[in-house]
Structure 1
């Protein structure tokens, strides 16, 4: 055959067969899939025998500069040195010390190998996209629960950091952040709070979402709702069913993706619930004119890719994007971190300003700050 098509999941399984051939060109679409240089897919891709290599990605840099190194290691091994020297010369000075000289150097080094076009350059006919943040006040039992979880987790994280230091306490920190994010979404998501019955606490965010959905549907809008938590989508599902609103659902467990997509695209249902992991890429949902992000994610690139399921070539209606944020909680802090990450990507891919990136103790203090009255 002249062309071989495969997937990242199949690459390692077929490595032996694929390596028997000499290719003129190897193209990695959505190349951020090899952002972890230690993954089997990244290693197999790098071992293929090819005269030319090409990476295509809307999100070449999502969380840190190591991801960019991994893709360049596939494209031009040695251009950015080995991983250790890259970390010492570029990643740490840029992310930790905000070193503008190193940032400019890195930008210059990769520039000749980078063709960057943003969507508004390519698809000038795209309608407008309007982004809005809706800040939701937690109250009553949900607010109390946030404070209870925050206090318990703050103590747990501090104790762990005292014992092991920030770098080695990541699992406990992530568990604490997860629990706080879950309380913001809906108290029923929180597991393992001894002696706490959390079914009584009403979710201010879910109440607000349902009010929004009813208002938007009256205006004849077609809506995508994204969440990190499939368990949250099931709670939203219950609310929609109780109101007799028809919907489609896409999670990692969905067997027939195309049937769900068709139901929405052809107008059989007005609302589509999608988990960010399952629906972040590879979907064309131009029937939608409204995107709601139920909960924020650290990674702005993943959120933007989800939004662009609707705002893509073929869309002929203005798109409205709503981000639901629980006021005063760690969700607001996540939003601020998102800005830092966007700035890092901007500054490397097209010269601009960047901010320090690693989670510091000050960041953690801000995240665990009490709710204000």
Structure 2
């Protein structure tokens, strides 16, 4: 008969010292006594195995990942034992970090896979410490061979610093630059760091018998035809581990590509995968296909969100700031739409190009006429969105707070930087974008995080924000213009909402009412409503495939939204 009882959840590996010290005569329940016995029997394989037979149900009544069943006693005991073993290995490796319980479980999960010669995808939400978990995996293993970390070029310095910070006793070799040369014999346990561009062309990397290969920011191997994907698949290793906060960014083919590098054959051939999953899920939204794919992928993919495991992080406070158009913007917007449809959009590739050019023009007009017209100065009074952004950022700076501002356009970032520098009357407001050197990027991040005299506003290219930035000093994030994929914007926001953030994070999304930006906002809401591994369709492609009348309805101004 089902009944309700009072219960308290406890993190068992964190509670192990107290359980070990518990007096046998203490008046505690059967569940606590069972777990005390588990701690004391860790080194007795036979008696530990028999403990599962008499463990009370309440002692292991923890819901599984889907929330539809409880974990069995043998499974939970095995996980408990493995986790304590991981903690002991990390102490022996002199790891200079206090891992959170979910991070210890992540390292345990990785070790369990690797010990079976199986690869995995660590897909924790950005900001939960994937790099630290990967480092702990490398140093908690018996030294049987060297390890390889492959990352974007911009993250080489970040990985070097993280290794020096967390595992200072580990030998690290940065394999990069014109004078690079791998030592003839790499001692076991050595960590070699290299970049994806180098991986494509550096044959010596494929001749080393690596123990673990870490593929950081594994979006770099999401295209199975790319040289980086093929080169990564050729690396000889005990196991390959992919790290990415977005295993599916645009379509399910990306998931297939990453998993095929990590565990070749797990998802079948690409053609079979498309037939079995891509078409049913992306075109028909088949719940059955989604469930089947999850079942196949789940053992090799670990995904935790901040809401699940980092409940001590302060909340994100989202708000949409609806902006109006100036008369100049209305004129430019209508003229662009009328001219495009009046001239005709054509067919095939010609149509796709013209539609995308029109969409880009409309987004730029929403940003500021100066961007659309190629101006070098963005005056106030010409763009409702620009004026509202400047007002908000000026107020944030006067309140001695710090803010990140993301834009997808380099030209817009430079226009914002010029106007904000003039308005704030301080040193130049910096703009971090892909054209900067890695050293300059590092300088901008360090100044924002550590220098009280530095600009309180940091402008960031949306794409440049994709890799390796830790900007937790910001209490505000502004998305100046919209990207098609909400996952990209979420990644950018999480540069500030990550471990180390002490305050609530205010996230402002600027939307120009009645325009293409309204359509993107609605599309974002639909995308975020999709479950699990399902990705949204190619939004730009979907626009190019619309009939003219539907497309015109999407792109034309809705006068009621801004009048």
What TM-score, normalized by structure 1, do the two folds share? Answer: 0.88
Q: Counterpart of 2:558 in 1: which secondary structure?
A: coil
The 5-angstrom pairing of residues 1-373 of structure 1 reads: 1=186, 2-14=190-202, 16-155=203-342, 159-160=345-346, 163-164=347-348, 169-191=351-373, 202-243=382-423, 244-246=425-427, 247-255=429-437, 256-265=440-449, 266-268=451-453, 269-344=455-530, 346-348=531-533, 359=542, 361=546, 364-373=551-560
C-alpha contact (below 8 Å) 2:250/2:537 kept by paired residues: no
Greater C-alpha Rg = 2
Q: Counterpart of 1:292 in 2: which secondary structure?
A: strand
Deviations 1:305-325 (A, max 9, x none): 111111111111111000001
Deviations 1:38-97 (A, max 9, x none): 111111111111221211111111111111111111122222222222222211221112
RMSD, aligned α-carbons: 2.4
C-alpha contact (below 8 Å) 2:345/2:354 kept by paired residues: no
C-alpha contact (below 8 Å) 1:96/1:357 kept by paired residues: no
CA distance in 2, matches of 1:366, 1:61: 30
C-alpha contact (below 8 Å) 2:212/2:240 kept by paired residues: yes
Deviations 1:288-347 (A, max 9, x none): 100011001111111111111111111111110000011111111112222333344x33
Distance apart, 1:200 and its partner CA? 11
CA distance in 2, matches of 1:342, 1:185: 24
Unaligned ranges ≥5, structure 1? 193-197
Q: Counterpart of 2:242 in 1: which secondary structure?
A: strand
The 1:176/1:318 distance shift into structure 2, 3 A limit, reads same
- Using CA pairs under 8 Å that are at least 6 residues apart, name the structure with larger relative contact order, 1 or 2: 1
Q: Counterpart of 1:334 in 2: which secondary structure?
A: helix
Deviations 1:237-272 (A, max 9, x none): 121222214422211222311221222112222111
CA distance in 1, matches of 2:287, 2:365: 39
C-alpha contact (below 8 Å) 1:281/1:309 kept by paired residues: no
C-alpha contact (below 8 Å) 1:34/1:71 kept by paired residues: yes
Q: Counterpart of 1:19 in 2: which secondary structure?
A: helix
C-alpha contact (below 8 Å) 2:483/2:489 kept by paired residues: yes
The 1:44/1:168 distance shift into structure 2, 3 A limit, reads farther
Mean alpha-carbon deviation: is it higher for 128-137 or for 244-253? Answer: 244-253
C-alpha contact (below 8 Å) 2:251/2:536 kept by paired residues: no
The 1:231/1:356 distance shift into structure 2, 3 A limit, reads closer
What is aligned with 1:195? none
CA distance in 2, matches of 1:304, 1:40: 28
C-alpha contact (below 8 Å) 2:211/2:238 kept by paired residues: yes
CA distance in 1, matches of 2:308, 2:262: 25
The 1:46/1:367 distance shift into structure 2, 3 A limit, reads farther
C-alpha contact (below 8 Å) 1:249/1:273 kept by paired residues: yes
C-alpha contact (below 8 Å) 1:340/1:357 kept by paired residues: no
CA distance in 1, matches of 2:259, 2:355: 31
Unaligned ranges ≥5, structure 2? 1-185
Deviations 1:146-169 (A, max 9, x none): 11112223455x632xx32xx774
The 1:201/1:222 distance shift into structure 2, 3 A limit, reads closer
Q: Counterpart of 2:225 in 1: which secondary structure?
A: coil
C-alpha contact (below 8 Å) 1:227/1:294 kept by paired residues: yes
Q: How many residues were matched structurally?
A: 357
What TM-score, normalized by structure 2, do the two folds share? Answer: 0.60
The 1:191/1:79 distance shift into structure 2, 3 A limit, reads farther
CA distance in 1, matches of 2:331, 2:360: 17
